[in-house]
Amino acid sequence: MHHLFKRTFIPILLSGLAAVPSLAQQQPSLLGFGTEAAKKELDLEAAFDKQLQANNLRDWMKRMTAFPHQLGSPYGLNNALFLRDKLVSWGFDARLDTVHVLFPMPKVRILELTEPTKFKASLTEKPLKEDATSAQTKDVLPPYHAFSANGDVTAELVFVNYGVPDDYEELAKLGVDVKGKIVIAKYGGSWRGIKPKVAYEHGAIGCIIYSDPKEDGYFQGDVYPKGAFKNESGVQRGSVVDLPLAPGDPLTNGFVADAQHKRLSLEEAPAMMKIPVLPISYGDALPLLKALGGQVAPATWRGALPITYHVGPGPAKVHLKLEFNFDIVPCYNVIATLKGSEFPDQWVIRGNHHDAWVFGAADPVSGAVAELEEARALGELVKTGWKPKRTIVYCWWDGEEPGLLGSTEWVEKYQSILKEKAVVYLNSDGNGRGYLGAGGSHTLEKFVNQVGRDVTDPEKGTSVIERLRSRTILNGSPTAKQEARSRTDLRIGALGSGSDYTPFIQHLGIASLNIGYGGEDAGGDYHSIFDSYDHYTRFKDGDFAYGVTLAKTLGRSVLRFANADVLPFDFSNFANTVQGYTAEVKKELEAARTKAEDHNKVLGEGRFEAAADPKDPFVNPAVESVAPYLNFAPLDNALVRLEQSAKAFASASSKFSALPADKLKELNEILYKTERKLIHADGLPRRPWYRHQIYAPGFYTGYGVKTLPMIREAIEQKNWKEAEEGILRVSGVLEGFVGEVEKASGVGR
User: b vs e for 432-468, b when ≥16 Cβ sit within 10 Å of the residue's Cβ?
Assistant: bbbbbbbbbbbbbbbbbbbbbebbebbeeeebbbebb
Least distance (Å) between residue 511 CB and Zn ion: 21
Stretch of 1-9, 310-318, 451-459, 480-488 contacting Zn ion, by CB under 5 A: 1-9
The distance of closest approach from Cβ of residue 29 to Zn ion in the complex, given in angstroms and rounded to an integer, is: 35
Residue pair 467/36 in contact by the 8 Å Cβ criterion: no
Segment near Zn ion (CB under 5 A); pick from 201-209, 334-342, 356-364, 390-398: 356-364
> From the CB of 527, what's the least distance to Zn ion, in Å?
9
Q: Which is nearer to Zn ion, 550 or 592 (CB)?
A: 550
Q: Is residue 292 at the binding interface for Zn ion, with CB under 5 A as the rule? A: no
Candidate segments 55-63, 107-115, 176-184, 428-436, binder of Zn ion by CB under 5 A: 428-436
Q: Which is nearer to Zn ion, 429 or 675 (CB)?
A: 429
Please tell me the distance from the alpha carbon of residue 77 to that of residue 596, in angstroms, as a whole number: 55
Distances (CA, A) of 113 to 22, 119, 157, 288, 600: 62, 5, 9, 7, 42
CB closer to Zn ion, 526 vs 571:
526
Closest CB 105 distance from Zn ion, rounded Å: 19
Closer to Zn ion by Cβ: residue 125 or 429: 429
Shorter beta-carbon distance to Zn ion: residue 1 or 20: 1
Q: What contacts 549, CB < 8 A, 6 or more positions away?
A: 455, 456, 457, 458, 464, 517
State the minimum distance, in angstroms, from the CB of residue 544 to Zn ion.
18
Return the range that interacts with Zn ion (CB under 5 A); candidates 358-366, 416-424, 539-547, 715-723: 358-366
Quick check: 1 binds Zn ion (CB under 5 A)? yes
Q: Minimum distance from CB of 364 to Zn ion (Å)?
A: 4
CA atoms 512, 252, 726, 622: torsion sign: positive
Min. distance of Cβ 587 from Zn ion in angstroms? 34
Near Zn ion by CB under 5 A, which window of 17-25, 32-40, 374-382, 424-432? 424-432
Q: Binding of Zn ion at residue 409 (CB under 5 A)? A: no
Q: How far is the CB of 548 from Zn ion (least distance, A)?
A: 20
Please tell me what DSSP assigns to residue 683. Answer: -
**Dihedral over alpha carbons 258, 262, 263, 267 (to 10 degrees):** 180
For Zn ion, which residue of 355, 363, 454, 643 counts as binding (CB under 5 A)? 363
| Residue of the chain from 156, 216, 371, 429 that contacts Zn ion (CB under 5 A) | 429
Nearer to Zn ion, 499 or 707 (CB): 499
Letters for 135-174 (x = contact with Zn ion by CB under 5 A, - = none) are: ----------------------------------------
Least distance (Å) from Zn ion to the CB of residue 240?
A: 16
Binding range to Zn ion, per CB under 5 A, among 24-32, 65-73, 138-146, 364-372: 364-372
Number of residues that bind Zn ion (CB under 5 A): 5
Contact 210, 188 (CB under 8 A): no
> What are phi and psi for residue 343, nearest 5 degrees?
-130, 70
**Range in contact with Zn ion (rule: CB under 5 A) among 83-91, 355-363, 381-389, 472-480:** 355-363
Longest distance between any two alpha carbons in the chain, whole Å = 83
- Of 547 and 709, the one with the shorter C-beta distance to Zn ion is 547
Measure the CA–CA gap between 510 and 679, rounded to whole angstroms: 10
Instruction: Calculate the CA dihedral of residues 186, 192, 198, 204 and round it to 10 degrees.
Output: 60
Pick the closer one to Zn ion by CB: 159 or 397: 397
Shortest distance in whole angstroms from residue 217 CB to Zn ion? 21
Q: Tell me whether residue 244 or residue 364 sits nearer to Zn ion (CB atom).
A: 364
Distance, in Å, from the CA atom of 17 to the CA atom of 449, rounded to the nearest integer, reads 19
Burial degree of 509 (CB within 10 A; 0-12, 13-18, 19+): buried
| Residue among 2, 86, 469, 680 that touches Zn ion (CB under 5 A) | 2
State the minimum distance, in angstroms, from the CB of residue 537 to Zn ion.
18
Q: Is residue 364 part of the contact set for Zn ion (CB under 5 A)? A: yes
For Zn ion, the closer CB: 161 or 239:
239
Tell me the residue type at 78. N
Our CB check for Zn ion shows the closer of 368 and 730 to be 368
Regarding 3 and contact with Zn ion (CB under 5 A), the answer is no
Would you list the DSSP string of 366-381?
IHHHHHHHHHHHHHHH
Residues numbered 13-32 forming contacts with Zn ion, rule: CB under 5 A: none
Query: Phi and psi for 149 in degrees, rounded to 5?
Result: -80, 155
Q: Measured from the CB atom, is 242 or 363 closer to Zn ion?
A: 363
> Smallest distance, Å, CB 522 to Zn ion?
17
Q: Which is nearer to Zn ion, 92 or 703 (CB)?
A: 703
Cβ neighbors of 701 (< 8 A, separation 6 or more) are 190, 191, 194, 244, 496
Strands 317-338 and 151-159: antiparallel
- Rounded Cα distance, 337 and 123, in Å: 43
Give whole-number Cα distances, 440 to 313, 330, 443, 476, 556, in Å: 43, 30, 9, 19, 17
Least distance in Å: CB of 431 to Zn ion? 10
The answer to whether residues 441 and 505 touch, using CB atoms and an 8 Å cutoff, is yes
CA–CA separation, 153 and 151 (whole Å)? 6
Distance from C-alpha of 526 to C-alpha of 220, rounded to nearest angstrom: 14
Interstrand relation of 151-159 and 182-186 (parallel, antiparallel or unpaired): parallel
From the CB of 429, what's the least distance to Zn ion, in Å? 4
Closest of 198, 148, 216 to residue 701, by C-alpha: 198
Q: Which residue is nearest to Zn ion (CB)?
A: 2
* Residue range at the interface with Zn ion (CB under 5 A); choices 5-13, 129-137, 362-370, 457-465: 362-370
CB 238 to Zn ion: min, Å: 10
Residue 620 CB neighbour total at 10 angstroms: 11
Q: Which residues bind to Zn ion, rule: CB under 5 A?
A: 1-2, 363-364, 429
